[in-house]
Amino acid sequence: MSLSSSTLSKAPGVLPAYLGTRISVTSDGINLDNLAPDLARQLHNFGMKRELIKRYGNDTIYVIYHAAGVALRFTKLSGTMSTDLFELDSLELYNADERYAPVSESILPFKGITHSTTAQQFIQAYGEPTQKGGGLSQSLDIWLRWDPFDSLSTIFPNDSSGSDRTNTATYPRQTGLEIQIDNRSWDSASNSKWKSLTLYLAS
**Using CA atoms, how far apart are residues 79 and 65, in angstroms rounded to an integer?**
30
pLDDT at residue 32, rounded to an integer: 86
In a domain, 63, yes or no: yes
**Using CA atoms, how far apart are residues 180 and 94, in angstroms rounded to an integer?**
9
* Low-confidence spans in the chain with pLDDT less than 70: 1-6, 79-83, 154-171
Residue 187 DSSP label: T
pLDDT tens, 109-129? 998 999 999 999 999 999 999
Q: Round to the nearest angstrom and report the end-to-end CA distance of the chain.
A: 38
Query: What is the residue range of 169's domain?
Result: 12-110+147-183+194-201
In a domain, 47, yes or no: yes
In a domain, 45, yes or no: yes
In a domain, 77, yes or no: yes
φ/ψ of residue 125, rounded to 5: -85, -40
pLDDT at residue 80, rounded to an integer: 60
Helix, strand, coil in percent for the chain, rounding step 5: 20, 40, 40
Closest CA to 37 of 164, 153, 154: 164
CB of 110 within 8 A of CB of 11? yes
pLDDT at residue 137, rounded to an integer: 83
Domain count, the chain: 1
pLDDT tens, 68-79? 999 999 999 876
In a domain, 30, yes or no: yes
In a domain, 140, yes or no: no
- The residues near 4 (Cβ < 8 Å, ≥ 6 apart) are 121
pLDDT at residue 158, rounded to an integer: 47
In a domain, 167, yes or no: yes
pLDDT at residue 198, rounded to an integer: 97
In a domain, 126, yes or no: no
**How far, in whole angstroms, is CA 146 from its chain's centroid?**
14
